[in-house]
Every structure is written in C-alpha cells, then in structure tokens.
Structure 1
Amino acid sequence: MSNSGDIGFDEIASPVKMGNRLWSRTRGDKVIWAAVLLLALVSVLVVYSSTGLLAYKMNKGNTEIYLFKQIVFIAIGLAVIYFSHLVNYTVYARVARILFLISIPLLIYTFFFGVRLNEGSRWIRLPIINLTFQTSDLAKLALFMYLGRLLSKKQDVIKDFRKGFLPVITPVVVICALIAPANLSTALLVGATSMLLLFIGRASAKHLLLTIGVAAVPVILLVTIALSYYDSSEGRSKELPGVLSVGRLPTWIKRVQNFVYSNKEIDKDENYQVNQAKIAISKGGMLGLGPGNSETRNFLPHPYSDFIYAIIIEEYGIIGGAFIILIYLIFLFRCIRIFRKCPYAFGAFLALGLSFTLVIQALINMAVTVNLFPVTGVTLPLVSMGGSSFLFTCLAIGIILSVARNVEQLEGKEPVPEVKA
C-alpha cells in the first residue's frame, strides 16, 4: 500500500485470492453445491419479499431486518456445510450412537418443559444466548446417522426379524413415538423415510409391511374420528368429548376435516391458510407477478416459512415453482449417484437417508401449499426463513458432501480408510 493511503492492488485482490483458495479446498459433488447456492439465493429473495409487513409491524418500519437475519443464517449455514464436509464421514459413524442417545432425553425434556405453542411443545430455549431450537431436528439427524450405522452392520442378518430387523426398527419407533405428541407430521415424515431406507437396505418386505400396518392403525383411527365428528350440514366440527380434547388431538382432527372438506363453501374461514395459498397461486399464473410483487403475503399466515412456496409461485409463476421442484429432484438424483458409487455401506446409507428426508420434506411442504396434503407445519428446506431447522439442514447437506468428497478421493485412487461402524 502506498504512503498516501491509497488501497493497493494486492489489498483488493486478497479477498479474491482467499475465495479462490477456499474454493480450491471445496470438495464433494459440485452439482449439490450449485443446488444449495441456488436455493439460498431464492431464500434471500422470497424471505425478503414475504416478511415486509411483519418487519414493518414488529420493528417500527425497519423492513430489512429479516433480510439481514436471513443473510446471516445463510452465511452460517454455508460455513456449517463447508466445515462438516471436510470431516471424514466415518467420524459420523463414531458419534451417531452418542447423538442418538442424547436426542432421547432431549425429546423427553422438550415434551415436559419445552416452549409451548398451540398445545405442542417442540422447542427448548438455550440459556445465555436465549435461542430456541427444535429438538426433533437433532433427533432426525441423529436417527438417520444411527440407522445408517446399524444397517451397515446388520446386512448379513437383516432378513432375520430378531437379529436384524428388530434392532434396526426399534430406534425408529422410539424417535417417532417421542416426536409424535407435539409434531405428528414430522413423526410421520421420519417414519416414512425410515421405511424407504430400510427397504433399500434389504430389510424383509414382510417385516416392513407388518410395521406399516401397525403404524397405520392410529392414523386410520384419527381419520375415522375426524370424519365422524364433522357436521356436514353445518359445515363445521362437532363438539369433541373430553377424551378427544387432550393435547394436539383436536388440532389433528381439525386439519383432517379441513383437508377432506376443503371445497365446501362454508369452510372458507376454517381453511383460511390453504384458501389464501390458492389465491396466491392463481395470481401467479404461468410467469408470476415478478420479484417482490406478491399481494397475498399480507394475508397469508406464515408466508415466510410453512407457505413460502405459495409466494414463490405468486411472484415467479408456475415456471418458478417447477424450477424449485427440479432443483430438489436434481439434488436427490446426485445423492442417489453418491449412494451407488460409495463402496462402503455406512456412507451409502448415510447419504441416502439424509437426502430422502430433505427431499420428502420439501415435497410435503409443496403438496400442502397446493392442497394435496393436510396442513403440517413443515418448512421448505434451505428456502424458508432461517432458524435451527435451517442450520440442521445445512449440517445434513455437509455430511452428504463429506461422503461425496471421500467417493471422489477413491475415484482419484486416493485410499480412504473405512472405520468399522
């Protein structure tokens, strides 16, 4: 730098050089990296658009505060992906059981002492930093890490019910049972993804069908109750007896009723969220209203999280919505490619399990928005406004990229030691 205080070329070029060095150390599937960056860019645009009114009301006219928060979350999330992808994925096999065992008491603590909202307790508040996080996010991640570890160890006996299937299905039942009272949709998502992973992991179809049959009993019972306690002539739910008014049960019954009878004219107020989402989609048409031009964001509840896909379609049209689906499908395809190329069972199951849960969650979120599925409350991964769920999603992607990085090393004839799970 010159004595006059002018900034020299080296100072200007140093951030570029640092970025180049950082990129040169970045490994893993470049298509997955591109998908993550595209979804992060979409997230910045849509979160900023959908939080304008909320920011104005909550922060005395400062409409950029949530934009800055989202940018900070994305920056932290990308750092989480980067550093977690540098870790050899076999390390995650060592910590999988520990994380799984930690998640069980955390879920129990959350159920009794967590932050309560709408009769459900899903979050715990961290001391000192005063930040809440959803313990089911940690439990999901820990479960699929542990499930990948178990499947890799039990391949020789996986067809045997007592020696193979029972040890593998038990952690799934435990986690789903602990998540379900406060978050039934997440429990069903985890259960369905686990069944799919077990099927690919060569578990007996007979054992899987038996498990699905047992799990379907309470779901069928819930739907039956919801249909029985609906007055079609009045267009509203009947008064529930005391035994059906415990915890989140009335909410689940109401959501099933709203979904089944969503086309009834009298149900407009009861199904307000879905109806506003339909309005947003109809306004978007094929090409959309343009970035930042959403009109429904001021009426649609939670347009920055649960129903952010409706805002995407309203502003970017059906083409924009289809583009988002395409990104998730490309992400899944590349993860399946990692699964097929990984020579070690743990890495293969780990990449597949984590990718399944992210993509299935995305598809369910979008299905809710277009009224193909009852309202669930699950977010759109990497797109909805940041929180603990966003960071755990980034950690899951970092672990997938860790597997991809080691696959690349093997393809480059660089031996990577496999640690016994």
Structure 2
Amino acid sequence: MTEMVFGTTPVRAGDPILPRWWRTVDRWSLACVLGLFAVGLLLGLAASVPLAEKNGLPQFYYVSRQAVFGAMALGVMLVVSTFSPRQVRRLGVLCFAVAMAAILLLPFIGTDFGKGAVRWLRLPGGMSVQPSEFLKPCFVAICAWFMAASQEVGGPPGRAYSAVLAGVVVVLLALQPDFGQASLVLFSWCVMYFIAGAPLYLLFGVLGMAMMGGVFAYGASDHFARRINGFLAAEVDPRTQLGYATNAIQEGGFFGVGVGEGSVKWSLPDAHTDFIIAVAAEEYGLILVLIIIALYATIVIRSLLRLQNERDPFARIAGTGLACAFGVQALINMGVAVRLLPAKGMTLPFISYGGSSVIASGIAAGMLLALTRTRPQGRIGDVLGRGRG
C-alpha cells in the first residue's frame, strides 16, 4: 500500500550500500548526466584544439584536463548520491562555509584573468578555482535547512534567516561583479521560498528590488552596462562574441556543417566555455542542440516529479531548488548564445570546459540524486490517522 500511495521502493534492513543505492536512485537522471558529460568531451575535442594551438600546447591538452575534471566530478557525484538528506545538509553547510571564506578573500588575492570580474583564486601549479560555482549548491542546501526548520512547531524564523543570507550572497557576488551567478542564486532562493509557503506578494517584492538593483548596476558598473547595451543594440556587431555565436548557429542549420568543419572555434575566445553551444550548433546542427536540451529537461522534470511524493521538508525544498537552478543555468547559457538574454559569463553544466564548473556540477547533481532517491515514506495509516486527528 505504501508503494501505491507514495511510489517508494522498500529498503531491506542490512542491505549493502551499492545494491540499495542502485534500487533507489533515479537511473534516468543518472544516465542523462553521463550523457551530458559525454557530449562535453565530444564538443571539447572540437572547441578546445584551437585554444591549445594558440597557447602552444598539445592539441588535446584541454580535452585531457576536462576528462580528468569530469572523472573527479563523476566520482564526487556518485559518492554524494549515496548520502542521506541529513548528510547532504551537513555537506552543504560545511562547503558553504569554505566557499564563503574564499569569496571574502577574492578582493585581496583574487584575479580576473583579464575578463573584468574578480571571480577566481589562483592556486599553485597554474590552477585556479571559482568559489561562486561551489557556493551555489551549498547555498541551496543551507537555505533549505533554514526553511525546513521554520516549519517545525516552535522552530526558528528560518525563512527570515535564509532571506538575510540570500541578500548577503547576492551582494558579494554583485561586487565581483558576477551578476549572472547573483541572479541564479536569487532565483533558486525564490523557488525554495515559494515551495516553503511564501506569499506571492513577497516574491513580487523581491523581484521589484532585483529590478531596481539592475537599474543601479547599469549606472554604476561599466562591465554590466556594456553587456546590456550589446544585448539591446539593434544590430549585432559581427566582431563580438555574440556576433560570432549568432553566425555559427545560423550556419549550422539542422544537420550542421560537419564534424571538425566549423569555423567559430577559431574566432570565438570562449568557444570552449560560455559559448560551447555555438560549436555544437555549427558542427552538429539543431539535432545535437535538441538532444542536449532533452537531457537537461529530463533531469529537471524527473527530479521534480519524484520530489512531489517527498515528505521530508528539507529534501523537498532543497531538491526543488537544485533541480530548478540546474535547469535555469543551462537555459541562461543557451539563451545568451541565441541572444535571448544578455551575456552573463555562465557555463553550461557538465559540457563547458572548466574544473570549478564541472566539479561543482558534480556536487549539485550528487545532491539532487541523493534527495530524489526513493525512501520509505511511512505507513498510509499514519497519514490517515493524522487526517482524522
């Protein structure tokens, strides 16, 4: 009866971890994540070779690094996906503290790599890390914990705590400036706050303040103003990244120009990162783009459907925030490439090159898989008894 009502898989006491994990994990979402990683390696073979030659490195230098980052990300994802909701919460709190400390250090020891925004910390050996990538999934976990605690009888004002925390994080990201990540963090908080029972007028108020903040940023930040002006311009300058990406997408058509025959990767500086979807569209055509969209949509939709039956408030709120943030980040990246949105410097999860992006995506996907695993949800009599009470 429990399975009929809640759609859960019974867990037998004493089961080994791996068989229990395999029975309860969402294998469709897991397969889609693996598919995205495979697509990322495929596109990396095309997009990163020109960059390697330009920098005097072996042709497949960046592809090899991406494979290493991807293996690390998949390993982290599989480990985290075995966690219980409580373990996910603890991991989120710990990683959030580390990521926040790193972001606070950015004004003093951070670098912008010539991109106009101080977002990275240099590490020994020529490595770098972008703390905001790791902050996102951890922020979702800690805010979901606050919101879930506020639903308990006599619980703390967790929703107010989460609002203060969201405001602090958004301001810190905007100061880098990193308005794309700040917008994504604010969006994920609004989704979770809505799921936790926030009134709509409050969310509209947050949206209004965000718009006022955008107007202020336009006047105060040349970096932000240039991107908005480029987006609103009647004509796209063909010598800009948006111009190159738009032309590549148009050239690709339905079937693409052929593997290795694309030209945008030779002229677009961020072809292997922020604009990698343009490489996919030019060489493989609309078909591969639709496959990529289907993979992201499957992960988001299946996760939300599985979370409908989740009775743990933390798992339901955090899982919804992670799923929506994952999908919206992909949507923003692809929307920028086709000029539906202003440029934001946001990667395509599991596909764009970058160690921070790929490993942080692995942590987020692992948390999502852990929270959407089927678990015993209690007996139907418990629910009926509470209803009669």
- Does TM, scored on the shorter chain, surpass 0.5? yes
Cα separation, 2, equivalents of 1:104 and 1:74: 24
Residue 314 of structure 1: which of 282, 286, 291 is its match? 282
Query: 2:31 maps to which residue?
Result: 34
Contact 2:81 2:370 in 1 (8 A): yes
In the alignment, what sits opposite 2:144? 148
Superposition deviation, residue 58 in structure 1: 2.1
Q: 1:103 aligns with which of 79, 99, 102?
A: 99
Residue by residue, what CA displacement relative to the aligned partner does 1:217-270 show, whole Å, maximum 9, x if unpaired?
1213445x4xxxxxxxxxxxxxxxxxx5xxxx1111111111101516xx444x
Alpha-carbon separation, structure 2, partners of 1:92 and 1:53: 40
Poorly superposed stretches of 4+, deviation over 4 Å: 21-25
Name the residue aligned to 1:48.
Answer: 45
Residue 402 (1) aligns with residue 374 (2): no
Partners in 2 of 1:411 and 1:139 — Cα distance? 30
Q: What is the rounded CA distance, in whole Å, between the counterparts of 2:181 and 2:162 in structure 1?
A: 19
Is structure 2 residue 256 aligned with structure 1 residue 260?
A: no
Q: Answer whether contact 2:188 2:322 (CA < 8 A) is retained.
A: no
User: Cα distance, 1:191 vs. partner?
Assistant: 0.7
Separation in 1 of the partners of 2:161 and 2:21?
Answer: 39
Q: Match of 1:124, SS? A: strand
Equivalent residue number for residue 173 of structure 1: 167
One-letter code aligned to 1:73 = F
- Letter paired with 1:348: R
**Counterpart Cα distance in 2 of 1:252 and 1:137:** 20
Unaligned runs of 5+ in 1: 1-20, 226-243, 414-421
CA RMSD for the aligned pairs? 2.5
Change (3 A) 1:296 1:126: closer
Cα deviation per residue 1:50-101 (whole Å; 9 max; x = unaligned)?
Answer: 11111223245x2122222222222211111111112222112234344434
Match in the other structure for 1:229: none
Cα distance in 1, alignment partners of residues 99 and 358 from structure 2: 18
1:212 aligns with 2:180: no
Larger-gyration structure (1/2): 1
Q: Report the alpha carbon displacement of residue 326 of structure 1 after superposing the two structures with TM.
A: 1.4
**Counterpart for residue 324 of structure 1:** 292
Distance in 1 between residues matched to 2:72 and 2:288, nearest whole Å: 26
Instruction: Give 1:298's aligned residue.
Output: 266
Residue 342 (structure 1) aligns with? 310
Match of 2:75 in 1: 79
Query: Which amino acid is the alignment partner of residue 222 of structure 2?
Result: P
Provide the C-alpha distance between the structure 1 equivalents of 2:259 and 2:193, rounded to a whole number of angstroms: 42
* Preserved contact between residue 262 and residue 279 of structure 2 (Cα < 8 Å): yes
Offset of 1:328 from its aligned partner? Answer: 0.8
Q: Is the 8 A contact 1:133 1:388 kept in 2?
A: yes
Q: What displacement does 1:193 show?
A: 2.1
Alignment partner, residue 251 of structure 1: 223
Rounded to whole Å, the distance in 2 between the matches of 1:310 and 1:257 is 21
Change (3 A) 1:83 1:412: farther
- Would the alpha carbon gap of residues 251 and 262 (structure 1) be closer, same or farther in structure 2, given more than 3 Å must change? farther
The aligned residue for residue 190 of structure 1 is 185
Question: Structure 1 residue aligned with 2:242, among 274, 277, 289?
Answer: 274
Question: Is the deviation greater in 321-330 or in 110-119?
Answer: 110-119
Q: Which moved more, 1:103-112 or 1:188-197?
A: 103-112
C-alpha distance in structure 1 between counterparts of 2:75 and 2:378, whole Å: 26
In the alignment, is the contact (CA less than 8 A) between 1:157 and 1:164 conserved in 2? Answer: no
- Tell me the distance in 2 between the aligned counterparts of 1:48 and 1:148: 38
Alpha carbons 1:274, 1:371 under 8 Å: kept: yes
Counterpart check, 1:366 vs 2:334: yes
Aligned-residue identity in percent: 28
Residues 23, 305 of structure 1: alpha-carbon distance in 2 compared, 3 angstrom cutoff: farther
Q: What per-residue deviation string (whole Å, max 9, x for no partner) do you get for residues 346-370 of structure 1?
A: 1111211111111101000000000
SS where residue 120 of structure 2 aligns? strand
Could you tell me the TM-score, scaled by structure 1's length? 0.79
Deviations 1:276-316 (A, max 9, x none): 11111111001112333212211122111000001111112
1:359-399 per-residue CA deviation (whole Å, 9 max, x = no partner) reads: 10100000000011111110000101131111011011111
Instruction: From 66, 89, 94, give the equivalent of 2:62.
Output: 66
